[in-house]
Structure formats: structure tokens, C-alpha cells
Structure 1
Amino acid sequence: MLLFFFSSLGMQAQYYNKEVAASVRIERNSEFLKFYALAENKTPVELPLEYEFLIFKTQDDGTIQKDSDKQRFVLKPYEKKVLQTLVLGNAVTNKTVLALLIFDKDGKPLGKDRIVLENGSLSEIDIQLPKMDLFRSNDQAKPQDGFVIEGLVIQKTITKAGRDFFKYFYSLYFNKSIKSPKDIIIEEVPGKSRTTLIIVKINNQIVWKFFSQPQRKFLEEQAQITISRVGKLLQVLEQQKDQKIQY
């Protein structure tokens, strides 16, 4: 029954992880393995969702023990969220399957991912499951040297309002764990009268621009708008990259 369950999911894989992506990530040290169940909203709208995190452990007598946790949650536009964590010892001697399923409010499955551990000393798991960045897609392979070059958030502001906007934007960027393959440039230039124009660009493409005001509420609102537009553009760039790979 377990095999049928997962083979059915595999046959329909092309319908999963499009609007909402599920992923299971692993972090390890010499003492334990820590697993993260993650969800990512790839749409510009807030989504009420439900997840189920399942653990299947094969016992010594061949029987399968199932544990699961199911909860409702909400994802904001382009938000990435850790739903649950699990810590196991670094020696997994029996086959263990961890699966994450995400459903919409009507019970339609939207995202799924799983990790399989078996014959599990830590060294054997290292070969099967290389360490991953928590919010990096499964299909983003790391270079042979183990280093990943990511874009920077570059500040080119000239006023306090510009610097404050950068601070609010970067706080959102960091807290949402966004990773851009291209530099994000926040540039401020003289505008009309005594105001300045703040321009946000990715790879020389303008994401958002506005005339600055010193009020904190206004700058925080602009930071929210900008981070949403940045997330949307990064999704478009990733989809374009995937299309190029396919062709």
C-alpha cells in the first residue's frame, strides 16, 4: 500500500509544486540529522493551506510504523516558511521515509516532496543526500567546489529616506530568506523639486520605482511592494531558466 501511495504521487509529479512547493531539507552534524519541512508560495496571493508531514519507519520485523502531523497554515505572497522540524540520530539502521504533502483549502494536493533513508550510517546518507541550503530548489545543483555565488543587495542611496528604505527592504529580504542569482540594486537619484527617485533593479531590469518621502510608514509600504515585485520577477527568471534547460 505504501509503494502504491508513492508511485501514484510520482505519476502525477508534473502537477505538483507549481503554485505551492513542498520540500524536505536536511542539516547534519556529527551527532544528529535535522530535517526541515518547508513550503513556498509561488503566487502573488495569500493562500490558506493544510500540510501533512508523514514518517514511515520500517521495523526490524518488517512492519511499517506510520506517524503523521496535519495542520492548517497560511502563506503570504511569495513567502517561504518552515512548517516543522524533526531530529534523528545520525545512524538510521532501518528504512525511514519522510514525506511532506500540501493541500489547498478544499483538499486538492498542490505540493509534495520526500526523503528516503536506508542502511543509514551518516557517511552513507552523505552520498545519497548532499547537504542542501534550506530554501534552495531541489534542481539547483551545487558546483563541484561546494561554493554557491549568489547575488548581492547593493545600496546606492544619497539621503536618509533612501537609507531607511534600504534598511526596511533588506530586513524583509533577509527574513523571507530570499536568494537572488543576480544583484539587486537600490539606487537613489535626484528627482522633482526636493524629492529623490528610488529605483530598484535586478539584472538592469527595473522592478519598482517611486518618489521618496521621509515618513516611515510610507517607506515600509514601499518596501513591502518592492519585495513582492522582486519575488515575482525572481520566479519569472527561474521559470525562464528551467525552459532553457528543457530545450
Structure 2
Amino acid sequence: MKVFSYIGLTILLFLSYPSLSQDINSDIEAKIFQESNGEFITIKAFAINKTINNHSLRFVLTITDKEVSEKAATPEKEEGRFILAPDERKELASVFRNVDPTQRTILLLLLYDEEDQMVGKDRIVLNGPENVDPTKLIIEAKNAISEDLSNAGEDGYVGLVGIVTEDTKTKPGRDFYRMYKQAYDNDKINGQQIVAVKEILAFGINTKLQVLVEGELIFEFFVNPRAGYLDQMVDAAIDRTNRYFQFIKKRGDNYVKRY
């Protein structure tokens, strides 16, 4: 009898231990996104709330830069506390890195709840996994940069083409951004101005989605959950975006902002 009692107690302790019973990224997801234009890489860390509750959380973003040939390096840390609303996707930090085939960057994002239990985790390695041949990485990076430079102007300026940023607050907002970005890429618009999809509060509890080019509003609408409505708005927004970029091109002035 004592043997079975010990076994039962062990199983009970195992099931009640928080770190073993809790699924990472199930309710709160940690996500690291990256975007490259061949010259530099933009990395953004996000927390995504998959529940209908508010959460008080803490994040730790660890960034380790090291030469490909190095075995170890001293990591940098960025951390802070934040509140995540229901169904919210919040940007926690952004990092910029030059495309450098001799340098490998490892990013680790961890999310903790009020009891300091890990609830979210994501990790990416820039310049490939540990077993990638560094010589191949160097060749690929050089080819990407050479292609961009061949398309540059006489002054050697390489434009930031095809950049679409997101600042949404609800699931319909995120769905619109995803659909808009996919249509934008499929149509190969590749505008030299940065396009922003932004969601703002409107009357009551409604929200409004806006599409802006370099801060100039070109399209907006109130969010409506009706089936097929987002598809119509995406088509209209893409049409307006195409016409706006054609207008800029025909204008023939030096509109492009350089950074």
C-alpha cells in the first residue's frame, strides 16, 4: 500500500507543477519576425494574446552577435513589463542589423506571466543554422547586395522597396494586414515608399483601418465582421495603392524619402 501511495503522490506533484503542465505558446505566443531588403535586416519581437483575458507579462529579448568562426559571445538583453489585451498583438522591441555574412545573430524571446512562469518562447538565427557552410552564406549575401546595387541610381542609393508595416489591435485588423500584404506582394507593387496598415479606435467600440503611404492617408474603412467584407476592402485598398504609386511615378518629382 505504501508503494502505491508514494506513486500516487509523485504523479500528483508532477501534474500540479506549473512549468510541466503549462503549454508554451498555447495562450500567449512569442513571435520574432524578420524582413530583409538585401542591405539590412529588420527584426521585430511580438507578443500575441490568443485568449479573451488581459494578461500582465514580462519579456526578455536576448541578442547574441558573434563572428561565424567564434564559439561564444556575450549576449545583450532587453526586457520590460507590459499589459496584453484580449486578442492583441503587441510589438515589444525592434532590432536592425546590416547584412554581414561573417556575423551570426541569435535572438531569443521569452515571455513570463505574473508568477514568473514561462508562457511564450521563440528563437531565430540570422545567417542560418549552426551547420550551414559560412562560405555559402557569404556568396548568397554578396549576390543579394550586388543585385540591389545594380538597380540603384547614379548616386548608389538603394531604395527600401516593398515595405509594409503593421499596427493593428484586433483579429480582423491582423487578417486585413495579412491579406493586404499578400495581395501587395502578388501584384509586385514594390513601392519605394513605406506603406503602413494602421488600426485606430473609432466611435464606441468600433475600430477603423487605415492604409497610409509615408504617413499620407490613401484609404480607410470601418471594420465590419460581415463575411467577404475584408476581401472587398483588400481589393479596394490594393487598387487605391496601385493608383497612388502610379500617380507618384507620373508626377516625376523627387518624392522618394531617403534614410
- Give the TM-score range, shorter chain: 0.3 to 0.5
Rg larger for: 2
When normalised by structure 1's length, the TM-score is 0.48
Which structure has more RCO (C-alpha within 8 Å, separation ≥ 6)? 1
When normalised by structure 2's length, the TM-score is 0.46
